[in-house]
Amino acid sequence: MKDKIIKPDLGFIKEIIAGGGESLKKCYQCATCSVRCSLSPDNEPFPRKEMIKAQWGMKKELLASPDIWLCHQCGDCTTYCPRGAKPGEVLSAIRRLAISHYGFPGFLSRWIGKPKFLPFLLFIPALFLGLAILVKKPLFDKLGIESSVSQKIIFASTTIFPHWLLNSFFAFFSCLAFLSIIIGTIRFWSAMKAQDKGTSPAKSLVKSLILALKRIITHEDFSQCTTNKWRFLAHSLVFFGFIGLSFVSIWVITSSFNPLFQKGLVYPFNLLNPLKIMANLGGVAIVVGCLLMIWNRLKQKNIGTYFDWFFILVLLAVGLSGFATEIFHYARVDTLKVIVYFIHLVFVFILLMYLPYSKFAHLFYRAIALIYAEYSGRSNETK
């Protein structure tokens, strides 16, 4: 009996309220939200039960729930809530706390969530990049690399940033970030397992993975939103734009030692190179998608939190600074190109390195939750 006793966590409630769920306590449990939600499973539907658990500060149960991630925040529940309790916003705040909770190391999670740390967060990549510039010459000399090698790569190696240095620099930090997010998702997975103790899986892990990936790629969950139909488009643009850019980037970075890839790659690509077209289209998709998201948030007023804006604006900044660099490159305005390229690199760093702690992490947590939902039989078979 002892373990069944509920102990409300007042601090957790305050965190939800501070993190965008200030309407949380307005909920009076009518369950309009659960009825309205097109993604909620028929059995124990969300977000009604999440609302009362959040009101009661039941932190452990909420953070170990796949349901908070099954929500795609279309806003149907918030629109129809008779008391203005905004379940969508509350779930979003809980997801934010989940990212922070599972994030490793914890202090980085806390920094991302607070505006006062923003200058510091910007300073870190700037510092690293600055150091890289400073140590380039001694490093070159020590390693015996001739500058002329990189001179050939006109775009990346303005003399300031050697291509290889950047590649290894980003690869290293990306690996760290990836490691961190893996730790987070494993924590999340085991928390979900622990919560569902005693229930047997509904599907095999592989089948669940395939089904979840299908759901993610087709964006079928987004297509069921009724209040905000535009979100399907906006999220698809950003999602596929990012996939496209990632693909090109990985191709480029790994080209020199990946036997599968074409040798003698010339970088930067010709504008008509299929990879270049893909990268540009991806960039456009991200910028357009982000602008759509921003436009909608402004239109709806009071929607979104710092945490949310941080991610969108960083993504937009990456896109815009990337295009600016490209334009200055072709326009041969070298000074400006160097400056915006530096900015671009800072934002890319922020986007990738802070991934496990920013909203970007939803990519992983939601994927894991979707897999778990299939695995545990939490999702509706057909809807």
Partner 1 sequence: MNKKLAVYICTGCGIGEALDIEKLLKVGTGEGKAPVCKAHTCLCSQAGIDTINNDCQVEGTNTIIIAGCSSRVNQDAFTFDTSKIIERVNLREQVIWSQPANNEDTQMMAEDYLRMGIVKAQKTELPEPFKPNEDISKTILVIGGGMAGMTASIEAAYAGYEVVLVEKEGVLGGFSARLYKQFPNQPFSLELQEVSHQEKIKEIESIERIKVYTSAKIEKIAGGPGLFDVTLKHKGENVQFRVGAIVLAAGFEPYDPAKLSHLGYGKSANVITSSLMEELAKNGKIKRPSDGKEVKAVAFIQCAGSRDKDLLPYCSTFCCMTSLKQAMYVREQNQEAIAYIFYKDMRTMGLYEDFYIRAQEDEGIFFTKGEIASIEPTQADNLTVTANKTLFGRDIIVEVDMVVLATGIVPTTAIKRIIEEAPIEEKKEEPTVPQDAIIKSDILNLDYRQGPELPGLRYGFPDSHFICFPYETRRTGIYAAGCVRHPMDMAAAMDDAAGAALKAIQCIELTAKGQAVHPRVGDMTYPDLFMQRCTQCKRCTDECPFGALNEDEKFNPLPNITRCRRCGTCMGACPERIISFKNYSIDIVGSSFKAIEVPEEDEKKPRILAFMCENDAIPALDMAGVKRLSYTPYVRVVPVRCLGSINLVWIADALSKGIDGILLIGCKYGDDYQCHFVKGSELANYRLSKVKETLDRLRLESERVKIVQLSINEYDLLPGIFNEFMETMEKVGPNPFKGF
Per CB under 8 A, the list member of 19, 41, 47, 49 interacting with partner 1 is 49
The Cα–Cα gap between 150 and 123 comes to: 27
Tell me the C-alpha to C-alpha distance, in Å, between residue 163 and each of 150, 168, 226, 302: 7, 9, 46, 43
Asked if 54 and 98 touch (Cβ cutoff 8 Å), the reply is: no
Per CB under 8 A, the list member of 35, 52, 139, 179 interacting with partner 1 is 52
Q: Give residues with Cβ within 8 angstroms of 223, minimum separation 6.
A: 232
| Residue range at the interface with partner 1 (CB under 8 A); choices 42-50, 133-141, 142-150, 272-280 | 42-50
The Cα–Cα gap between 115 and 105 comes to: 19
Per CB under 8 A, the list member of 44, 179, 194, 262 interacting with partner 1 is 44
Nearer to partner 1, 34 or 92 (CB): 34
Q: Is residue 28 at the binding interface for partner 1, with CB under 8 A as the rule?
A: yes
The Cα–Cα gap between 383 and 378 comes to: 13
Interface of this chain with partner 1, residues 67 to 86, rule: CB under 8 A = 83
Q: For residue 149, how far is the Cα from the chain centroid?
A: 36
| Residue range at the interface with partner 1 (CB under 8 A); choices 51-59, 72-80, 130-138, 219-227 | 51-59
Q: Is residue 55 at the binding interface for partner 1, with CB under 8 A as the rule?
A: yes
The count of chain residues that interact with partner 1, using the rule CB under 8 A, is 24
| Contact track, partner 1, 82-121, x by CB under 8 A | -x--------------------------------------
Nearer to partner 1, 52 or 134 (CB): 52
Asked if 160 and 338 touch (Cβ cutoff 8 Å), the reply is: yes
Q: Please tell me what DSSP assigns to residue 42.
A: S
Asked if 283 and 323 touch (Cβ cutoff 8 Å), the reply is: yes
* Chain position carrying tokens 């939200």: 33
Supply the minimum distance, in Å, between the C-beta of residue 45 and partner 1. Answer: 10
Nearer to partner 1, 48 or 366 (CB): 48
The Cα–Cα gap between 43 and 33 comes to: 14
Asked if 57 and 8 touch (Cβ cutoff 8 Å), the reply is: yes
Nearer to partner 1, 62 or 279 (CB): 62
| Contact track, partner 1, 211-240, x by CB under 8 A | ------------------------------
Nearer to partner 1, 30 or 171 (CB): 30
Q: Give residues with Cβ within 8 angstroms of 17, minimum separation 6.
A: 24, 25, 93
Tokens in use for 290? 């982000």
Q: Is residue 1 at the binding interface for partner 1, with CB under 8 A as the rule?
A: yes
Asked if 169 and 273 touch (Cβ cutoff 8 Å), the reply is: no
Q: Is residue 6 at the binding interface for partner 1, with CB under 8 A as the rule?
A: yes
* Chain position carrying tokens 């592989």: 206
Per CB under 8 A, the list member of 4, 116, 142, 197 interacting with partner 1 is 4
Nearer to partner 1, 1 or 272 (CB): 1
Q: Is residue 14 at the binding interface for partner 1, with CB under 8 A as the rule?
A: yes
Supply the minimum distance, in Å, between the C-beta of residue 368 and partner 1. Answer: 24
Residues in the chain: 383
Footprint of partner 1 on this chain (CB under 8 A)?
Answer: 1, 4-8, 10, 13-14, 17, 25-29, 44, 48-49, 52-53, 55-57, 83
